[in-house]
Amino acid sequence: MATSPLARCLDSTNLRLDATDADLHTLCIDAREHGFAAVMLYPAGVFRAAEALAGSPVHVGTVIGFPHGRTSTAAKEAEIRAVAAAGVHEVDIVMNYSDLREGRRSAVAAEFARLGAVARELRLLTKVIVETCFLDREQKLAALASCEDAGIDFIKTSTGFGTAGATVDDVKLFADRRRGSIRIKAAGGIKTLAQARALISAGAARLGTSNAVALVLEEAGAASTTSGY
């Protein structure tokens, strides 16, 4: 099956609390078939995912400090080192957004700098989840600036466990106000092709979704209808 441009933007995600080994194996098989950018799963599943995706261009990604971000920097660093040894390629790190909301921006910046350096040492791609639903505009821009200052690869909107997920407005805010080449990952509540296309048009380079297969099938169906087949 040919890989579509949309598929190459998708991080196919299973962070359900009741996910089984069989569910995660299916996640990896589907990712191989459709050519997704990455699979995203909890750290305990990384080793099995790396085995299932060996020889595939699909990356294995996992979450760090998820979903609250309120573990210590040392604990997050230990998680990153452990999953790197297990075969991960990408880490989605939850910011301690409580620190940012309470005005402790220097603590946030210091954590980003430390974890970004560790990830680069281990040759891992970094995405920082800032949980936009709990931040005001000024705080969102502060999070963006701190990510850029630390050399983070992606700023990511949401865990999917907050009160709201990705919005076009938040993606556009990050896209318009970034100073350099940091990329944007939208995640949380992405269920339709129209949503996916709108977020990409606003500036998202990756989409995190548990509906990845449904999205590419919807895209294929829309293409068939348009072409008359």
149 catalytically annotated: no
- 3-state DSSP call for residue 171? helix
Distance CA 13, CA 40 (A): 5
Is residue 140 among the annotated active site residues? no
User: 170: which 2 tokens?
Assistant: 């938040």
Whether the Cβ atoms of residue 171 and residue 200 lie closer than 8 Å to each other: no
21 is catalytic: no
What's at 184, amino acid-wise? I
Residue 11's nearest CA partner among 48, 49, 61, 54 is: 61
Q: Which of 76, 127, 140, 185 is catalytic?
A: 185
Residues 160-193: b if buried by 16+ CB within 10 A, e if exposed: bebeebbbeebbbbbeeebeeebbbbbbbbbeeb
Sorted by sequence, the CB contacts under 8 Å of residue 113 that are 6+ apart come out as 149, 150
> Which of these is catalytic: 11, 76, 92, 170?
92
Residue identified by tokens 């441009």 is 5
CA atoms within 13 A on the CB side of 23: 14
Residues recognised as catalytic: 92, 156, 185
